[in-house]
Chain A
Amino acid sequence: MKARSVRIWTAVHKWTSLVSTVFLLLLCLTGLPLIFHHEIDELLGYAVPPDPVLAGEKATVDRIAEAALAHEPGKVLQYIAWDKDDPSAVIAYTNVSRNGDPDDAVLRAFGAYSARPLGLVGTGPMLIVLKLHTDMFAGMPGKLFLGGMGMLLLVAVVSGVVLYWPFTRRLDFGTIRHARTRRVMWLDWHNLIGITTLVWALVVGGTGVINTWAELLLNNWKSTELAAMVAPYAGKPPPAHLASLDRIVGNALAAAPGMEVAFIAFPGTPFSSSHHFAAFMRGDKPLTSRLLKPILLDGETAAVADRRDLPVYLKALFVSQPLHFGDYGGVPLKIIWALLDILTIAVIASGLYLWFAKRRKFRRGRALLTGNQLPAEAR
């Protein structure tokens, strides 16, 4: 590699890293507890307790809906969701109106057997950590900004790989030059940790960036695919009386054999038409459980009106989510996720240290290295 191209890649690596460092550290530090948010919620007492009744027949969906409305007088139901990991809980979303602001929604879990209220979902201190991690309390602009920082991370990682060769070509893999200056030792650690965690950093960074576009992708789907699904029923008024929710669920299950209902959206909510229920179905495998399949059902008769697969970009979004969260391989995977996150923090921190140390070195005027640029950079 020519000295000139090394200089260019070094500049790319330096500036993409420097600009994003503070935010990447924020993301890594807030991401660490988020890996264990289920466990932390449980520990702090914010987890939903299990249904006291765990036997006999499951409560009807209509009964759960009734119970949910009784707890939030004057509100309407937006969604009813079934937790994949906890079959004993059904989560009801109530809001001031069918298309109310998501921030105003109340999520309350009910026992799948008893239909008794179990507690509110998504409260507690981890919500603050989550907001810091996703948008820094700055809404959509904050989200897209962090997405941009994520893209800088990807460029920094790729440029780091390019620079790995000129910086380590005289060394065996994993050589740490402890006997040399502290800067050289940390350069070796930076290179070793960086290159071994490379693929994980790219995948978690890349899927994180995709996740920042989740709302945009969903909005696009709603305005194109969902709009096309409901277009034939454009003139239809909102249903005068709603069909039985158990019939909605039953017909949806019959229309998608081998799948279960992830959630149903009520007519008039952002995930359906003004006249239809939408049932979002999921498979039972780790991968297929992420690929939701929407079914549109008539709000009055519960008859299936339309069904189709999600477009590729939404599939990509839903598959990318577990790859970002690390929640798809049991507790051991979560622990490994945390260790890899800590290694990434070490790469970021050592990179920052190297930048400071190099500046100091040049300032003191001790850098009298002349001649070949490469060894000077590497030592």
Chain B
Amino acid sequence: MTDAGYAYFSISDLAPSIESGEISPVALVQTTLDRIAAHNDTLCAYITVMTESALDEAHQAERQIAGGNYLGPLHGVPLAAKDLFATAGVRTTFGSPLYADWVPDHDAAAVERLRAAGAVIVGKTNLHELAYGGTSGNPHFGAVRNAFDPACHPGGSSGGSATAVAGGLAFGALGSDTGASIRQPAACCGIVGLKPTFGLVSKFGALPLCWTMDHVGPMTRTVADAAAMLQVLAGYDERDETSAERPVPDYGDGVNRGAGGVRIALVREFFFADCDAEISAAVEAAGAVFEGLGARVEEATIPDVEVSYAAGTIIMGSEGAAMHGADLRQRPELFSDEVRGLLTIGGLYPAADYVQAQRFRKTFAAAVEELFTHCDALIMPTSPVPATPIDDSPPEHGPLRYRNTVPFDVSGHPAISLPCGFTAKGLPIGLQIVGRAFGEAELLAIAAAYEGATDWHERHPKF
């Protein structure tokens, strides 16, 4: 992109200049809106652009900061929200005609918290229909395109958020992740995506695909920015039945700690099967980077990891069918063939298998946590396959796009994807790092150490 200006600055780089008054939130928001106006027709990243309210919020932020009431690193920063987070007075479509006219009277908890921290929400990002799919090829609101190659998909389901952040149309965004939907699009778009521990971030006001596996998290261009967003998003919310009541640590505390002495487990079994050769090589190279940083890298296996893929698929399908079953019966024409097929399959899983899949989760989560008595983090490819052309996406990629990520939606462990290379065709590759339950501070520190030793995150789309 040639009109980038501040567009690719990190939140952490911008914040001191916003606090000092050197950078105006109004100018920053206007620049972001200008970039959206210039590039959204190509990228299809946003469903709704909130021009008027964004400028109002920017003026308010500018007044507060000038008056000495600086709220922190998100104050005055233009962010985006996936269009399944309720926004008061602004339609929230879920990427589906079913919700095309739904205008909530409240903000989702995640939006509420970002606004309370002074962030400016510039728009609602496009997504895979009903957040159920990995390409964001939305037939109702347009196929989202990858900022690194607009002929290719950006991953999904939070594809609009990933493209907006990668393309400099927002400085960070909210995503949701049930099987892959924060991490896989982050990998496809060369950005950072963090799926926090289940229960750490409130899901209140986020339209559900799967009540027991949905997670809310940040999508940013750097690990430090993910830490800054998580700092605001994390914490107990009594409106979310699954919310965890526990103290929130300082997530930015360890981002300069390094990785010396850290024990990394490279998990080849299952996660490297059917993996694109360039992706395997990039993740193996990431292991070598950690060794160069003084970490100890060993191989590990995860017991019953293939069953976790099955359990996740059954739970997602069954709960998706429960969530949308009535509409599927009464208004089937409002679903795409693809999502109608997925939900129909979901309705075929026997109840007994759904119950067994939920029972499996308890033992699997314990087995994953047990691994952390021997190591501090697990690493593997985020996705075994890269983004592919929208018009020529291999059908066999469907089950692979969420294969490496869904185990940690099943177990609930925190997992982050960050850029670790590019294919020969110039498409990003993602490294997934998994940490202890509620161990986001340590996970972010390990991810930041890798990021600090590489320059993948400094490569931005050019068009």
B is a partner of A = no
